[in-house]
Amino acid sequence: MRTTVGIIGAGPSGLLLARLLHNAGIDSVVLESRDRSYVEQRQRAGILEQGTVDVLRAAGAGDRMDREGLRHDGIELRYARQRHRVDFPALTGGRSVMVYAQTEVCKDLIALQLKEGGPLLFEAEALAVEGADTDSPRVRFRHEGVEDVLECDYVVGCDGFWGVARQAIPAELTRIFERTYPFGWLGILADVPPSHDELVYAHHDRGFALLSMRSPSVSRLYLQVPEGTDAEAWSDDDIWAELERRFETADGWRLERGPITQKSVTPMRSHVHEPMRHGRLFLAGDAAHIVPPTGAKGLNLAVGDVVTFARALTHERQTGSAELLDAYSPTCLRRVWQAERFSYDMTTLLHRAPDATPFEDRLRLARLERLASSRAAETELAEAYTGFPF
Ligand code: FAD
Ligand code: DHB
């Protein structure tokens, strides 16, 4: 098989890239190791930055998002039983975010790709990228039990943190920057209307909690738990009781309980792989970088990467100049590191590490109070949350 761009992975980054290339008249083949329903059901991100919303609309993938997504103009910060709202449009000149689940973004992009785009092969596992530093890179893959080779002009590794594409970049050319956190998130989906109409980020001495949502009738909630926690060790009653404690306010706000339909634990890490390109192999999304989820940047960063690649390749096709492709890694990394910084700041602002000292506890409280009392501090949060420019 032969194509211009071989895309490994049909998560948000691979699917959106295929759509952007299709719209630019550039052919691609997407290889995805899992089956369609797995990709469509995997519960992950929920918040789209303004720029991501704009890109999906411009790509012709925004119709259902515009009908069913929930525009959010702010978030609530909660600490010391007090509530503080951050008003995004007022602080950023009109920017907001959209609550629309990653599962739905993927469903929309898969439907478009199957209807209008190039081949999208499920249960097609990439085994290795070969010849990345030649003019004809290849992806060796296995589909329906048979090994095959995809010959490409370019390969984009959109295969997430556990993918194979990164391994084709020689270790001596690579630098990895990493931090793991001594806690994770226990996430639940519950069939109950969200108890608040905006997201609530709560800091409590017992740890962080987040109230989010998937629709007007489905809540998504997270609890900070110790690293290595088994989700099954938490009963539904224990989860609700702990959420109630962490969200408690002085004004008697109430959390509605409902049937829990899913629960899982996510580890927290920051990770950056530099560079994001080797020859004709490009890395995009979680294949190149991970942020802890506080601040909701992962999917949005993946979108930034593939927009940058599609623009660069289109430029090369139109002008013959590879200057934007050559600038791919530094261009993406500038944005990546801003998101790494913001996600780290939000994580350390809102979580309590098990070995936190009394001094660090007081500093965290001072940072929260600064946010609640300074328009400059709030503006910094609102600008980063609603998104850095692509
Ligand atoms: P993935 O979504 O990981 O997709 C990679 C794809 O490649 C997968 O489908 C995988 O099956 C496939 N693959 C892997 N190896 C191979 C192979 N060898 N061959 C073929 N296919 C392969 N981000 C936000 O922006 N906002 C949020 O609110 C948010 N919340 C989150 C909450 C949680 C609990 C978690 C875990 C993450 C959250 N994120 C959030 C992060 C976001 O989900 C990820 O950053 C995003 O999924 C990255 O997309 P991706 O396409 O790069 O990678
Ligand atoms: C969600 C996840 C996040 O990491 C976040 O900061 C906000 C919302 C969510 O899954 O809804």
Q: At residue 388, does pLDDT exceed 90?
A: no
Atom of ligand 1 nearest to the CA of 102: 43
The three-state secondary structure class of 376 is helix
Two structure tokens written together for 260: 């829990």
ipTM for the complex? Answer: 0.95
Best probe residue, ligand 1, of 138, 159, 162, 264 (max atoms within 8 Å of C-beta)? 159
Q: In whole angstroms, give the CA distance from residue 56 to residue 45.
A: 15
The answer on pLDDT for 211 being more than 90 is: yes
pLDDT of residue 329 exceeding 90? yes
Structure confidence at residue 166 (pLDDT): 97
Closest CA to 84 of 213, 185, 199: 199
Q: Assess contact for 268 and 180: CB atoms under 8 A.
A: yes
Nearest to 272 by CA among 295, 294, 298: 298
Which one of 16, 44, 161 would you pick to mutate in the ligand 1 pocket, going by the greatest count of ligand atoms within 8 A of its CB?
44
Can you name the residues that pair with 136 across neighbouring β-strands?
none
- Percent residues over pLDDT 70 in the chain: 100
Instruction: Convert the pLDDT of each residue in 128-138 to its tens digit.
Output: 999 999 999 99
pLDDT per residue as tens digits for the range 105-122 = 999 999 999 999 999 999
Q: What architecture is the 2-70+99-178+269-346 domain classified under in CATH?
A: 3-Layer(bba) Sandwich (3.50)
Q: For ligand 1, say whether the CB of 298 is within 6 Å of any of its atoms.
A: yes
Judge contact between 88 and 385, C-beta under 8 A: yes
What token pair was written down for 219? 């809540």
Note the pTM of the prediction, 2 decimals.
Answer: 0.96
Give the whole-angstrom CA distance, residue 336 versus residue 285: 10
126 bridge partner residues: 141
Distance (angstroms) between ligand 1 centre and the Cα of 296 equals 12
With vertex at residue 21, the alpha carbon angle to CA 15 and CA 22, rounded to the nearest 5 degrees, is 90
N- to C-terminal Cα distance for the chain? Answer: 33
By the 8 A CB rule, do 209 and 240 touch? Answer: no
Q: Give the count of beta carbons closer than 10 Å to the beta carbon of residue 227.
A: 13
Probe ligand 2: pick from 99, 105, 199, max atoms within 8 Å of CB? 199
Q: How far is the CA of 211 from the centre of ligand 2 (A)?
A: 8
Confidence of residue 54 (pLDDT cuts 50, 70, 90): very high
pLDDT at 313 over 90: yes
Q: Domain residues of the chain, as ranges?
A: 2-70+99-178+269-346, 179-268+350-386
The residue-averaged pLDDT of 356-374 equals 96
Q: What is the mean pLDDT of residues 238-260?
A: 97
- Secondary structure of residue 262 in the 3-state scheme: strand
- In the reported structure, the alpha carbon of residue 205 is separated from the centroid of ligand 2 by a whole-number distance in angstroms of 21
Contact yes or no for 183/353 (Cβ under 8 A): yes
In degrees to the nearest 10, what's the CA dihedral of 161, 164, 168, 172? 40
Catalytic residues: 72, 201, 293, 297, 385
Cβ–ligand 1 contact at 274 (below 6 Å): no
- The closest-lying atom of ligand 2 relative to the alpha carbon of residue 45 is 10
Indicate if ligand 1 lies below 6 Å from the C-beta of 55.
no
Gap between the Cα atoms of 133 and 303, Å rounded = 25
Mean pLDDT value across residues 264-282: 97
Is the pLDDT reported for residue 43 higher than 90? no
Q: Which atom of ligand 2 is nearest to the CA of 298?
A: 4
Ligand 1 midpoint to CA 363 (Å) = 33
Q: Is the minimum distance from the CB of 296 to ligand 2 under 6 angstroms?
A: yes
CATH architecture of 179-268+350-386: 2-Layer Sandwich (3.30)
Q: Decide: 6 in ligand 1 pocket, CB within 6 A.
A: no
389, pLDDT greater than 90: no
Ligand closest to CA 198? 2
Summarize the confidence of residues 175-190 as an average pLDDT.
97
- Enclosing H/E stretch for 316: helix 298-319
Q: What is the mean pLDDT of the chain?
A: 97
219 with 195: CB under 8 angstroms? yes
Q: Is 350 in the pocket of ligand 2 (CB under 6 A)?
A: no
- The alpha carbon of 39 and the centre of ligand 1 are apart by a number of angstroms equal to 9
- Of ligand 1's listed atoms, the one at least distance from the Cα of 141 is 19
Q: Does the beta carbon of 304 sit less than 6 angstroms from any atom of ligand 1?
A: no
Read off the amino acid at residue 307: V
What are the tens digits of pLDDT across the range 77-104?
Answer: 999 999 999 999 999 999 999 999 999 9
CB burial of residue 204 (10 Å; 0-12, 13-18, 19+): buried
What is d(CA 332, CA 96) in angstroms, rounded to the nearest whole number? 23
